[in-house]
Amino acid sequence: MKKLIRNLKIAFAVLMVLSIALGAGLVYQQRQSQTTLLAVAGENKASLRARYAKAGEIISSDGIPLAYSEEGERRYAEDPMLQRSISHVVGDYTHHMSNTIETLYQDELLGTRRRLIEQLLLDFSGRGMQGSNIHLTLNSALNAYAYELMQDYTGTAVLLNWRTGEIVAMVSTPAAPMANIIAYEDIPDSGLFNRALMGRYAPGSVFKIFTTGAWLESPERNPSFSLDCTGEPLRPNGARDSGHGHVDLNSAFTLSCNVFFGELAVATGADEMIDFLDSTGLQKLDSVDRLSKAAPRWNNEAAEHDEALLSWFGTGQAVGDLVLNFTPVDLALTSAAVANGGKLMEPHIVSKITNPLNQVKEKAEPKEIGRMFSPQVAARLQQLMTEAVASDQSIQTNARIDGFEVGGKSGTLEVDTEGGRSNNALWTGFINDPDYSWAAAVICEDVSGTNSTAVAVGGRLLEAAVRSTGG
Amino acid sequence: MTIYEASYLLRYVFVVLAVIIALRLLLSSIRDLNWGIKHSLRPAQGYFLLSNQGDGQTMSLPLYHTTNIGRAASNDIRIYSDEVKRRHALIYRFDGDWYVRPQGAASDVLVNEEEVHEPCRLKNGDTVSFGPSTFVFVDERAIAAERGETYEEAIFDDEAFYRAVERNSRPPYAMWILMNLFTLITTFLVFRMMPGVKEVQKDFLLYTAVALLLLDLYFLLLPLILRFADRILFLTAAQLTVIGMAIQSRLALVGTRTWRRAVESGSEAEMLQAARELFSAYRTQLMALFIALAVLWLVMLITSRTRFLEAITVLSGIITPLLLIITLIFGRGAATHGAGLWISLGGHSLQLTEFAKITYLITMAAFFKNRTPFRVQIYFAVWAGVNFFLLMLLPDLGAIMILLPVTLLVFVVMTSEYIKALLILLSSGVLAVFAYAVFPHVRSRLSGWTSLWDEVNDQNRQVVYGLQAIGRGNLTGRGRGNGSPGGIPLAKSDMIFDIVCEEFGVIFGICVIVFIVILLLRAIRTTILARDGFTSSLALALGAALFFEAFVVIGGTTGLIPLTGVTLPFIAQGGSSLLSKWIMTGLLLGLASRHEEGANRT
Question: Are residues A109 and A131 in contact, defined by beta-carbon separation less than 8 angstroms?
Answer: yes
The full DSSP string for B530-573 is -SSHHHHHHHHHHHHHHHHHHHHHHHHHTTSS-----PPTTTSS
Burial of B202 (0-12, 13-18, 19+ CB in 10 A): exposed
pLDDT over 60 at B597, yes or no? no
For A207-216, B279-288, B392-401, which range has the lowest pLDDT when averaged over its residues? B392-401
Q: Any CB–CB contact under 8 A between B470 and chain A?
A: yes
| Nearest to A88, CA basis, from A72, A103, A79, A99 | A99
pLDDT of B16: 95
pLDDT over 90 at B182, yes or no? yes
| Nearest to A441, CA basis, from A293, A333, A294, A339 | A333
ipTM of the complex model: 0.86
Contacts of A15 in chain B (CB under 8 A): 409, 520, 544, 547
pLDDT of B335: 54
Q: Which residue type, as a one-letter code, is found at position B378?
A: I
3-state secondary structure B232-300: HHHHHHHHHHHHHHHHHHHHHHCCCHHHHHHHHHCCHHHHHHHHHHHHHHHHHHHHHHHHHHHHHHHHH
A257, A404, A452 from A388: Cα distances, Å: 12, 14, 14
Q: State pLDDT tens for residues B26-57.
A: 999 998 888 888 877 777 778 888 887 777 77
Q: How confident is the model at residue A53 (pLDDT cuts 50, 70, 90)?
A: confident
Higher pLDDT, B119 or B55: B119
pLDDT of B158: 64
Q: How confident is the model at residue A48 (pLDDT cuts 50, 70, 90)?
A: confident
Higher pLDDT, B287 or A418: B287
pLDDT of B548: 95
Percentage of chain A exceeding pLDDT 90: 63
The full DSSP string for A350-380 is EEEEE-TT--EEEE----EEEESS-HHHHHH
What phi and psi, each to the nearest 5 degrees, are found at residue A60? -75, 170
Contacts of A30 in chain B (CB under 8 A): 467, 470-471, 473-474, 501, 506
Rounded CA separation B535/B368 (Å) = 11
Asked if B468's CB is within 8 angstroms of A11's CB, the reply is no
Burial of A292 (0-12, 13-18, 19+ CB in 10 A): middle
Calculate the CA dihedral of residues B93, B94, B100, B101 and round it to 10 degrees: -130
CA distance B562 to chain A (A): 14
Q: Any CB–CB contact under 8 A between B65 and chain A?
A: yes
Rounded CA separation A166/B176 (Å) = 60
pLDDT over 50 at B601, yes or no? no
Q: Which residue type, as a one-letter code, is found at position B565?
A: G
Residue B112: count of CB within 10 angstroms of its CB = 13
For A290-304, B146-160, B257-271, which range has the lowest pLDDT when averaged over its residues? B146-160
Secondary structure (3-state) at A40: helix
Average pLDDT over residues B100-125: 87
CA distance A2 to chain B (A): 6
Rounded CA separation B306/B299 (Å) = 10
Q: Any CB–CB contact under 8 A between B560 and chain A?
A: yes
Q: State pLDDT tens for residues B64-82.
A: 888 889 888 878 888 888 8
Calculate the CA dihedral of residues B221, B226, B228, B229 and round it to 10 degrees: -50
Window B:322-351, CB contacts with A under 8 Å = none
Percentage of chain B exceeding pLDDT 90: 38
* Residue A439 C-beta-side C-alpha neighbours within 13 Å: 31
Contacts of B4 in chain A (CB under 8 A): 129
Q: Any CB–CB contact under 8 A between B311 and chain A?
A: no
* Residue A207 C-beta-side C-alpha neighbours within 13 Å: 32
Average pLDDT over residues B516-521: 96
| Nearest to A401, CA basis, from A337, A456, A441, A453 | A456
Query: Which residue in A4, A27, A129 is closest to B536 by CB distance?
Result: A4
Question: Are residues B448 and B459 in contact, defined by beta-carbon separation less than 8 angstroms?
Answer: yes
Q: State pLDDT tens for residues A111-134.
A: 887 888 888 888 888 787 788 999
Window B:175-194, CB contacts with A under 8 Å = none
CA distance A259 to chain B (A): 53
Average pLDDT over residues B237-249: 95
Average pLDDT over residues B106-119: 87
Question: Are residues B412 and A7 in contact, defined by beta-carbon separation less than 8 angstroms?
Answer: yes
| Nearest to A105, CA basis, from A93, A121, A87 | A93
The full DSSP string for A124-186 is HTT-TTS--EEEES--HHHHHHHHHHHTTSEEEEEEEETTT-BEEEEEEES---HHHHHHT-S
Q: State pLDDT tens for residues B216-237.
A: 999 999 888 887 888 899 999 9
- CA terminus-to-terminus distance, chain A: 97
Higher pLDDT, A207 or B44: A207
* Residue B349 C-beta-side C-alpha neighbours within 13 Å: 13
Q: How confident is the model at residue A419 (pLDDT cuts 50, 70, 90)?
A: low
Higher pLDDT, B57 or B191: B191
Asked if B68's CB is within 8 angstroms of A40's CB, the reply is no
Average pLDDT over residues B392-408: 88
Q: State pLDDT tens for residues B534-589.
A: 999 999 999 999 999 999 999 998 888 888 878 899 999 888 899 999 999 999 99
Question: Are residues A168 and A193 in contact, defined by beta-carbon separation less than 8 angstroms?
Answer: no
Which one of B48, B413, B502 makes the best mutation probe of the A interface by having the most chain A beta carbons within 10 Å? B413
| Nearest to B523, CA basis, from B96, B305, B234 | B234
Secondary structure (3-state) at B135: strand
pLDDT of B265: 86
Which one of A3, A6, A45, A54 makes the best mutation probe of the B interface by having the most chain B beta carbons within 10 Å? A3
Q: How confident is the model at residue B337 (pLDDT cuts 50, 70, 90)?
A: low
Question: Which residues face A438 on adjacent strands?
Answer: A161
Q: Any CB–CB contact under 8 A between B384 and chain A?
A: no
Secondary structure (3-state) at A5: helix
Rounded CA separation B558/B545 (Å) = 20
pLDDT of B594: 81
Q: How confident is the model at residue B2 (pLDDT cuts 50, 70, 90)?
A: confident
* Residue B212 C-beta-side C-alpha neighbours within 13 Å: 22
| Nearest to B494, CA basis, from B579, B439, B563, B580 | B563
Give one word for A91, left, alpha or beta, with left for phi > 0 and alpha for psi -120 to 50: left
Query: Which residue in A1, A12, A16 is closest to B67 by CB distance?
Result: A1
State the average pLDDT for chain B: 86
Q: Any CB–CB contact under 8 A between B555 and chain A?
A: yes
pLDDT of B599: 42
Q: Nearest residue on chain A to B256, judged by CA atoms?
A: A50
Question: Are residues B467 and B558 in contact, defined by beta-carbon separation less than 8 angstroms?
Answer: yes
pLDDT over 90 at B310, yes or no? no
State the average pLDDT for chain A: 90
Q: How confident is the model at residue B157 (pLDDT cuts 50, 70, 90)?
A: low
pLDDT of B598: 42
A290, B8, B329 from B315: Cα distances, Å: 68, 52, 21
pLDDT of A168: 96
Q: State pLDDT tens for residues A130-172.
A: 889 999 999 999 999 999 999 989 999 999 999 999 999 999 9
Asked if B487's CB is within 8 angstroms of A44's CB, the reply is yes
Q: State pLDDT tens for residues A68-85.
A: 998 878 999 999 999 999
For A158-162, B142-146, B172-176, B515-519, which range has the lowest pLDDT when averaged over its residues? B142-146
Q: How confident is the model at residue B334 (pLDDT cuts 50, 70, 90)?
A: low
Contacts of A12 in chain B (CB under 8 A): 524
What phi and psi, each to the nearest 5 degrees, are found at residue A31? -60, -50
Q: State pLDDT tens for residues A94-111.
A: 888 889 999 899 889 988
Task: Supply the pTM of this predicted model.
Answer: 0.79
Q: Which distant-in-sequence residues (6+ apart) come within 8 Å of B569 by Cβ?
A: B240, B516, B519, B546, B549, B550, B577, B581
pLDDT of B225: 85
pLDDT of B596: 52
